[in-house]
Amino acid sequence: MKIISHRGYLEGPNPDKENNPQAVEECLSYKFDVEIDLRMLKGKFFLGHDEAIYEIKVEWLYEYNENLWIHCKNKECLENLNSFHQKLNFFWHENDTFTITSKNYIWAYPSKEIFKNAINVLPEINIEDTKFKKKKNILGICTDYPKMYSSLLEDGTL
């Protein structure tokens, strides 16, 4: 099962680390994939969930391409990635139950259910750990607590 850090968190939400490029790189050093929030304004890329905070270069996205799950936060970002950067793994959604990433992964919005063959987002919100044990073929999770879930997976709890 793939474990993806939500916004660059390792051990829970932290506003100082949210979408911070250094925090993202730290998560990557632990071998976690990372979901980032990306927007485009006036031809430049920025990380940030609710607003553009950290300007980044497209080269940064390509450097970590294999391990980034890019949540496009505005139309300009989605259109640009779709037109010029199709090798990146990106998606856009609001409150949809599912969306499909540009690399054909199912991205499941937080739910009370675990979905097979999908990335299940924020299971810690609504899902009991026992539900993981009963489900087979879980592709992965995107979580604020990747270190905890990694430990649970390693010790056989999940």
Question: pLDDT digit string (tens) for 117-158?
Answer: 999 999 998 877 666 666 778 899 999 999 999 998 888 777
Neighbouring residues of 32: CB distance < 8 A, sequence distance ≥ 6: 3, 4, 5, 10, 67, 146, 150
- Span between the terminal Cα atoms of the chain, in Å: 10
pLDDT in tens, 67-123: 999 999 999 999 999 999 889 999 999 888 999 999 999 999 988 888 889 999 999
Q: Domain coordinates of the chain in residue numbers?
A: 2-154
In SS3 terms, 23-63 reads as HHHHHHHCCCEEEEEEEEECCEEEECCCCCCEEECHHHHHH
Residue 75, token pair as written in the block: 């139309």
Q: Which residue, 7, 62, 12, 60, is CA-closest to 33?
A: 7
pLDDT in tens, 14-44: 999 999 999 999 999 999 999 999 999 999 9
Does the domain at 2-154 match CATH 3.20.20.190? Answer given as yes
